[in-house]
Structure 1
């Protein structure tokens, strides 16, 4: 996406171009495109208030940062506030770059001067002091991702020193007043997590930190990071500010899109740095109880990622992909199917209607089965992998219907059972085939249940329906 230009001479030159990321515009653009392309996340069609992103060198954290920016890139933000910690100056206050612009190899991004000045007038310790931006990388590394993700936007760059909790509350209030209900303002929070522990300890510490963020537990984060006990984050001040803002504005949804550490890239598991990509926004409250248990975009991304990696690992190496999960939603027992398509044609589909163990393991196991055990097809071969598309369907619990009039094509999957015979069609079969309800049921009886075509009319036949989240 095209960078913006600005005629004002108050342009901040980059500090770490050529160090944390490439100084060559074309190469930098390709790197970011690569990170975003590899991010398995579903872009949201709604505004998000806050993105938490890491700020290490792109080779280490760029792949994690890309998840958050890809998830929000389809929404047209006009102002993007970047909250970054100061690594070099321990000043008592908050410095806001209030005019001009900031330059990267991709061009100059203009500062939203009116917005910035609203912040600097809120308190005497919220001011413009350009020296506090010198050397700092934590703010700068977010900007190229923004330039590649959005058009026609301005930024409000903020470097945060060591302000008091009271000043952070004042700043969060100033943000609230400046945003004033706009849905085209995004807050980007720059932080890494634990630093230089071994992989096992780092993951445990980062799990504590992420859990506290998901619970909006400002006090716990503030105390434990200061005490350096259960968690670490160099962006404590920006994260605390963002959570205070979230609580002031009744934000209630946290999606953890991605976690990794530097060891996942370097292979060095003795001294790692943790990274996370997290979204915070307000979830609609008008949904029914049934809808509230739907998977979030982050949870869908995790399951789809598991299915894809499982197929890849099993087909290439004959090994079952090892994966661990702590998200309580993904530990529930639920039915799931994994469907493989090759060049838009079915290549395998296997599932369990009723959950047998944690959902994430059901998805993994069904991915293995779809690639190797569907009796209609030969096992998937390595040379086919580039052409294989993976789809996951997570099923609701089936319920029996008294009449086929209750079946809604495209919404309901259907199970036909009679004696030892049974068959199932997923909801998407109706859309893919265009069948009428009568043809849909007749095909289900004959093709899947190996029963007469009109078995669905037989009072002895049990008909059940379910819904599916398909992604």
Structure 2
């Protein structure tokens, strides 16, 4: 670390950090700001938990990411009495190779009032390891922590003191030192707020793919998976993709702390990007995820997950139309969107996995899908329709002159549920997903009816033919089931 960076900052408990982005990222009017935040929280559609240890939230202007940030904050029980809130975010204003703790102010001011800084903890961190410093320019104009404060003020009954930390390094060894110093505070008594946006500036559809890869890795709460996802995205050389996560360093610190013990669960609460906002376009977008880390073991939600996702006939017709128009637009090179997303109802924006299957004269012509929904359902169908038509490696791309003869079928999937025994699998009702190490494979529920296999044959074929694990490889693999609501164009004439 550069020797000119101070390990501590002079401070006076009466000093207040004044807002840097009020009137830009959010309203400078207290009344308007309170109304805006309350509106986001009210519409979030997320229930509170009693054991939230951390959240991952975006930090863009509220018109773009406020609704997604609210999903994470709504997961917090407003009556929870935390001792302090650790705010971790990336540096947008200063280049430095460490973590800057803002000990120069006794409070952060917002239009809604002041939030105290826990100066004692700030000073303790500065003494704990030389990886920590106090670099004023890393904080003075930085927005990524500031935009979290109004949400804390409107969500918590009592806002505890904060510990503001800006991380400027991507050195894995230094991040480990940051995590080690913070680990003693990573308890149920404290809340960690990790501030990060996700993909920066790719096209809308590319953002959906990139952010899906990153989101799935984070949900596994694995640092290894997260780093692999970042590297995978970078290796694809997607046009205008500047980063997969501007807050990758704070996220890495969180995953390190989660990996050091404790039965914690990473929950994915939602995803959107700036292209979903009426103020955004689709040419260069920024992605926004919301996550929560809860204490204790994952709940047994088998009953909840056994309920298949339900769509009306009109909603099914809309999805089939989206799939066909996506393929038509790609063939015509029009670049048009297949639907007006503002007119879609909530069911079509739900976070569901889906497969799109193409057939020609009764024979398979392409089938691609995502098991887990890290994007709105309509967007998943768009992406999978394009992939099934043009990117299934088993077939040549669909030609314009054959499209009229192709039939489209969509399978909308329920959430994955892990099972411990083949006895929990219901043939014809459940799809199967087998995972072992880097190998995985799946069969949709309807495969059982198409093949007439027994349950054991269903597992054996999936293990051998799809996952590449051999006929009995499923016996020591992770097993997941899901259900599918299947409908095609011929069903809805």
Fold equivalence (TM over 0.5):
yes
Residue 359 of structure 1 deviates from its aligned partner by 5.6
C-alpha separation in 1, matches of 2:346 and 2:21:
41
Residue 217 of structure 1 deviates from its aligned partner by 2.9
Residue 138 of structure 1 deviates from its aligned partner by 0.8
* Map of 2:437 onto structure 1: none
* Map of 1:143 onto structure 2: 149
* Contact 2:214-2:229 at 8 Å conserved across structures: no
C-alpha separation in 1, matches of 2:59 and 2:225:
23
Residue 319 of structure 1 deviates from its aligned partner by 8.5
**TM-score, normalised to structure 2's length?**
0.58
C-alpha separation in 1, matches of 2:113 and 2:345:
46
1:40 equivalent in alignment to 2:52: no
* Map of 1:170 onto structure 2: 177
1:322 equivalent in alignment to 2:322: no
1:72 match: secondary structure:
coil
* Map of 1:92 onto structure 2: 97
Deviations 1:181-216 (A, max 9, x none): 4x2211000000111111111000000000110122
C-alpha separation in 2, matches of 1:84 and 1:61:
16
> What is the correspondence of 1:206-355 to structure 2 with a 5 Å cutoff?
206-222=211-227, 224-225=229-230, 228-229=234-235, 232-265=244-277, 266=279, 268-284=281-297, 291=300, 293=302, 295=304, 322-323=348-349, 325-326=352-353, 328=371
* Map of 1:104 onto structure 2: 110
C-alpha separation in 1, matches of 2:303 and 2:83:
30
Taking a change above 3 Å as real, the CA distance of residues 318 and 221 of structure 1, as seen in their structure-2 partners, is closer
C-alpha separation in 1, matches of 2:34 and 2:344:
36
Q: Which has the larger radius of gyration?
A: 1
* Map of 2:168 onto structure 1: 161
* Map of 1:115 onto structure 2: 121
Deviations 1:369-396 (A, max 9, x none): xxxxxxxxxxxxxxxxxxxxxxxxxxx9
* Map of 1:9 onto structure 2: 14
Taking a change above 3 Å as real, the CA distance of residues 158 and 330 of structure 1, as seen in their structure-2 partners, is closer
Residue 357 of structure 1 deviates from its aligned partner by 6.7
Unaligned 5+ runs, structure 2: 1-11, 237-242, 319-342, 354-369, 375-409, 416-424, 427-493
* Contact 2:131-2:177 at 8 Å conserved across structures: no
* Map of 1:346 onto structure 2: none
1:24 equivalent in alignment to 2:33: no
Residue 97 of structure 1 deviates from its aligned partner by 1.5
C-alpha separation in 2, matches of 1:295 and 1:165:
39
More moved, 74-83 vs 31-40: 74-83
* Map of 1:50 onto structure 2: 54
* Contact 2:93-2:137 at 8 Å conserved across structures: no
More moved, 147-156 vs 219-228: 219-228
* Contact 2:82-2:190 at 8 Å conserved across structures: yes
C-alpha separation in 2, matches of 1:303 and 1:78:
40
> What is the correspondence of 1:380-391 to structure 2 with a 5 Å cutoff?
none
* Contact 2:217-2:229 at 8 Å conserved across structures: no
1:19 match: secondary structure:
coil
* Contact 2:115-2:159 at 8 Å conserved across structures: no
Residue 174 of structure 1 deviates from its aligned partner by 1.2
For these two proteins, the number of residue pairs brought into alignment is: 319
Unaligned 5+ runs, structure 1: 1-6, 332-355, 362-395, 398-471
C-alpha separation in 2, matches of 1:281 and 1:293:
18
* Map of 2:192 onto structure 1: 187
* Contact 2:274-2:285 at 8 Å conserved across structures: yes
> What is the correspondence of 1:402-441 to structure 2 with a 5 Å cutoff?
none
Taking a change above 3 Å as real, the CA distance of residues 50 and 208 of structure 1, as seen in their structure-2 partners, is same
Q: Which of 69, 73, 76 does residue 73 from structure 2 map onto?
A: 69
* Contact 2:262-2:296 at 8 Å conserved across structures: no
Residue 14 of structure 1 deviates from its aligned partner by 1.1
C-alpha separation in 2, matches of 1:188 and 1:295:
29
Residue 251 of structure 1 deviates from its aligned partner by 4.4
Residue 33 of structure 1 deviates from its aligned partner by 0.6
Deviations 1:211-247 (A, max 9, x none): 1101223234335536723670000111111111111
C-alpha separation in 2, matches of 1:102 and 1:294:
45
